[in-house]
Amino acid sequence: MTSHPPTAYLFPGQGSQSVGMGKDLFDNFAEARSVFQEADDALGFSLSKMCFEGDESDLQLTANTQPAILTVSTALYRVGRTEGLPAPKFAAGHSLGEYSALVAAGVLDFAAAVRTVRNRGTYMQNAVPVGVGGMAAIMGLELDAVEKLCKEAADGQVCSPANINSPSQIVIAGNTEAVDRACELAKPKGAKRAIKLNVSAPFHCALMKPAEEHLKADLAALEYGEFAFPVVQNVDAEPNADPRSVGEKLERQVSQSVKWLQTIQRLSREGVERFVEIGPGKVLTGLVRQIEKDAVYSNIENTQSLRENLS
């Protein structure tokens, strides 16, 4: 395994879900069946059935999406390791994906994490009444310009960068009217596009403070194991190997920006040359391509792509 370049495993967040995800893995590997069974037992209903053959609208509900993506990502990771995927130098996850990274690193117990993210999804969904908040992707403006744009658009309401995804893609969140104003202001300020997102709540902004407060008790009740490898966490884009600080960082993550651009840049400075996205979809692979053009990248989302990464 020494021939592998220094590698970081990346775990996707909400938005990567699709009905059918994980099914071929379940059919082909006992390790995957074990993970899905553990999730079903932890939640008291068949999450696996929802993933494999459920209704799209049910899977899109935040309280279902979060445990579903965590479960598929964990199944992929565990099967990969059983089949010979090497341990990474680092891991990171985008928003919800941070829980997948922490499970992979041995910090969080999987069943406890599944229950926690289901609650997290419920808290986030309930934090803001439907229609009060929104999100939009601003394309072609750098972070400092987006921060100024948000301040101008806020006008006494909430409007701030939520996901700092790449040098030219920043998602903003806040009150619906403020986000609409930001979209109108974006083009004249040099943005290529401003796209309102079809989301159920304004994630990663100050409107999520009620969700953060609810989640605090859940996180305090968890046990945190030692890190098998460091995880770069969203709130500060710093590698963490201290179990004592994990809960507090996960708590703050709910209402603060996801620093994904800074995370990938930090991993590169740490010597990472290869990025492997483990989970449904290829969203993070696309972002890595925008941030570190010379990096080697791949993704593992099913049996075929797993075998390609092992060959």
Q: Which residues are marked as active site?
A: 95, 204
Please give the structure tokens belonging to residue 117: 């993210």
Token pair 């071929």 in the structure block, residue:
24
Q: How is the beta sheet containing 159-166 ordered, strand by strand? A: 159-166, 169-175, 133-139, 193-196
Calculate the CA dihedral of residues 42, 16, 198, 66 and round it to 10 degrees.
10
Please give the structure tokens belonging to residue 251: 């708590």
Give CA–CA dist 277/288, Å, rounded: 10
Phi, psi dihedrals of residue 265, rounded to the nearest 5°: -65, -40
The three state secondary structure string of 163-229 is EEEECCEEEEEEEHHHHHHHHHHHHHHCCCEEEECCCCCCCCCHHHHHHHHHHHHHHHCCCCCCCCC
Other beta carbons within 10 Å of 79: 24
Strands 7-11, 90-93: pairing kind: parallel
